């Protein structure tokens, strides 16, 4: 926790291991909104979170291991939000047709 900027991060149960990176209020809100659109894509892909994260990493031009909502700063969360929102609105699936 950072008291001056009111940033915090949760920890895994019964540990002191962080669930992600410190996030101030704006970052938490961006992550939350983006993740709601991401979850809609996951449902469209029958729960294949890994497939959707792989697609999102490609869109954002980042490595898959860097692509997780808990790791995004506010700017990355907003960028990811836009990719997810556009994909949901378009009605397209993440997987490419065979």
The whole-number pLDDT of residue 62 equals: 96
Taking the C-alpha atoms of residue 34 and residue 20, their distance in angstroms, rounded to an integer, is 15
Q: pLDDT-based confidence at 17, cuts 50/70/90?
A: low
The whole-number pLDDT of residue 64 equals: 93
Instruction: Using DSSP, state whether 3 is helix, strand or coil.
Output: coil
pLDDT above 70 (res 9)? no
Domain map of the chain by residue range? 25-90
Q: What is the mean pLDDT of residues 12-26?
A: 73
Q: What is the pLDDT of residues 22-78, one digit of tens each?
A: 678 899 899 999 999 999 999 998 888 999 999 999 999 999 999 999 899 999 999
Q: What is the DSSP string of 10-42?
A: -B-TTS--BSS--B-HHHHHHHHHHHHHHHHHH
């Amino acid at each position: 926790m950072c008291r001056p900027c009111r940033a915090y991060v949760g920890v895994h149960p019964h540990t002191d291991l962080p669930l992600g990176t410190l996030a101030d209020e704006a970052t938490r809100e961006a992550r939350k909104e983006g993740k709601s659109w991401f979850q809609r894509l996951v449902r469209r892909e029958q729960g294949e979170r890994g497939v959707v994260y792989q697609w999102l990493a490609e869109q954002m031009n980042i490595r898959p291991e860097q692509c997780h909502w808990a790791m995004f700063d506010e700017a990355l969360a907003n960028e990811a939000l836009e990719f997810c929102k556009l994909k949901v609105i378009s009605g397209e699936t993440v997987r490419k047709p065979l």
